[in-house]
Every structure is written in structure tokens, then in C-alpha cells.
Structure 1
């Protein structure tokens, strides 16, 4: 704001600029979400065609829950894709906000987000409300349609810095494949015998279907590491 500018006019200008940028960002993330749903359907159809020949009992499906959520069933795993309706910014500690890309244009810091969680499919089927889900990846897109993906292992490695060009179908295709692969590769691990030696009647009544159930190996390790800090 210059010295001669009315503060009210400055406020209006800021709000209009930010509002316009956020609306464009939201349109971009919505479009990416729709494309991810379509790519998920394509990949599940391809995988299903191959697995059905050998084992018809392998459960594979894609289900649109709402405009902001869809599920991908991959055998014993349920991938939950969630589109957030709010545009966010990252904390100053993120390398993204320290990058020349954002310093050059601070409006690039506004991001739409899609979170991808991994649950055990039985958790939903048997309504086990206390079963945990784990965040596999988070897709972030700005108003220029450039993107970054936070995630473990190959997902985070491939998309760890902001893209040099707007997101494309091929990017989403690769991301969907990596996420499905990561979920399929992680096996369940049962809790130690000592941890499930004693249970209460309440635990038995409330968690009959999940008593002695496992957690995903890779996610358990990541989760435990986070809680120890």
C-alpha cells in the first residue's frame, strides 16, 4: 500500500486478489480430483482383467462417495481419496515456501489439497470405528496448476519438489499406480502376544471383529516414529 492509498481500498484489493487466486486454485484441485477418479477406474479395470483370470475372489472396485470423496478397493485395502474444500497455505518451515518460485510470486503459496488414506477394507465392512487409517500421500496444487506430492517412499521421492509445468493426465496416472502399489506391498503385522493377552468385557463387546487384528507394517513403523518425537 502506498502512502496516498485509502486503507479500505487496499483491503478490498487484497481480498479480491486472494479470492480470485483461491477460486482458481479450487477449480484446479477439483479438476485434478475428477481426473484421479477416472484414472483410478481405468487402473482398477486393467488390474481386475488380469487378476480375474487367475483368482475371481480378489476384490477390486472404485466407488464415488460424494463430490469430495471416492474409495478404491484393492483386495484387503481401502484407499480413501478426500478433496478438501478449503484452500490452505503451508507453514514457513516448508522448503516450498522458502523457494524462489514462491518468493517470486507469494500468491503461489495458496494450495488446494487431496489427501489419500489407507484403511483395511474390513474396518468399513464390519464398522470397526476404532480402526486407524494412515495418510499415504497428499497432493497439493496451486492456481497455476503446478503441483507437489507429499508421501512416503517412491511417492514422495518422485514429486518432492514443485512441478516445472502444470499437472497432466500422465502425472495422475503415475501417482495412482504408485499409491495402489504401495498399499498392496504393505502387509499386516499382528500386535505382540503380550499386548493382547488381557482384554476387558467392553473391549470384547466393542471390538469383537478386530481383536488380534493387524496393522500395516510400513505404516505402523512410520506412525510409531512420528509419535516418538
Structure 2
């Protein structure tokens, strides 16, 4: 009878110990699963943020190319006049016709504005994930966009108001790249975007 009681007590103790161990094991497994899940979620967020930002930067590159395209077709001039007329209905037809060349570039610039707006939202997300370094990497690209804008304004200013040589202005506002070689401005834009892309690739390895 005494042996039976001892066996029963041992069984109860063993049962309690095993219950505790199984509970602890379950908590550990759940904790590991949660950590893995959090890591996967973070990895997914980082991949999405990197992809979106890189794509937005490529859109900005294409918008810059679009603005710098030296060719202007009559159909584009007509669209530009209509674009400006909708924004400024008070402008006379004579004034619109007189400045239609400048209006083409104003219409084209809208693509840069749209690309910038999209990139800004993704940049904020990237900064939240990885810190301020990504913002520093965009500074050279921002500088090129400002340079393009300044030179466009110079190009359409009256000659006495210009502070730069007209040929130097044209080197910036007109894309002179060939099929095999980019011009200086395009090269610098590509270099800036490549630096951003390299940083983003490093974040999703």
C-alpha cells in the first residue's frame, strides 16, 4: 500500500512537471513564431518600401528625360496651350500663342512634379525604416532637378535678365545624349539614381 501511494505521488509530480514543461515549450515556440513573423513582416515592409522608392526614382528619371527632349511637335504645342488655358482662362489667345514654347515645358514639368510627389511619400517611409541616410542620398538628384528648373527659367527670360551663357543653358535643358553615350547632365542624374538603388538593394538582402 505504501509503495502504491509513493507511485501515485510520483505520477502526480511527474504529470505536473510535464505540464509545466509542455506549457513552457509552447510559449517558447509561440515566441519564436512571433519573432519570425515580425521579422517576415519587417522584411516584407522593407522590400515593398525599397521597390516603391526605386520605381518612383526611375519615374523621376524618365520625367527628367521627357522635359529635356529637344523635339517639340505641333500636337504637343497644342496640348500645352490647352493645358495653360485650363489653368489660366483669363489669358488671351495672342498671349498663349506667343508663349506656347514655354508652355510646353511648363506642361512637361508637371511629370516631374507628379514623380516628386510620389517619391516624397516613399522617402518618408524609407526614412522611418532606415534613418536619415536615404534623404542625404537624394540630395544630388534634387540638385540636378533644381538646376534644370533654374536653367529653364533662364532660357525663357529676356536676354538682359539672363545670368548664364545661352549655350551653357542649352547643355542643361536639352538632352544631347546619343544611343551609345549619355550627355553630362544625364550621366549625373543616372549616377545619383544608381547610388540610391545601390543603397536600397543593400537593405533587402
- Which structure has the highest strand share of the two? 1
* TM-score range for the pair, normalised by the shorter chain length: under 0.3
Q: TM-score, normalised by structure 2?
A: 0.27
TM-score by length of 1: 0.25
Write 1 or 2 for the structure with the bigger share of helix.
Answer: 2
Give the number of the structure with larger relative contact order, counting CA–CA contacts within 8 Å between residues 6 or more apart: 2
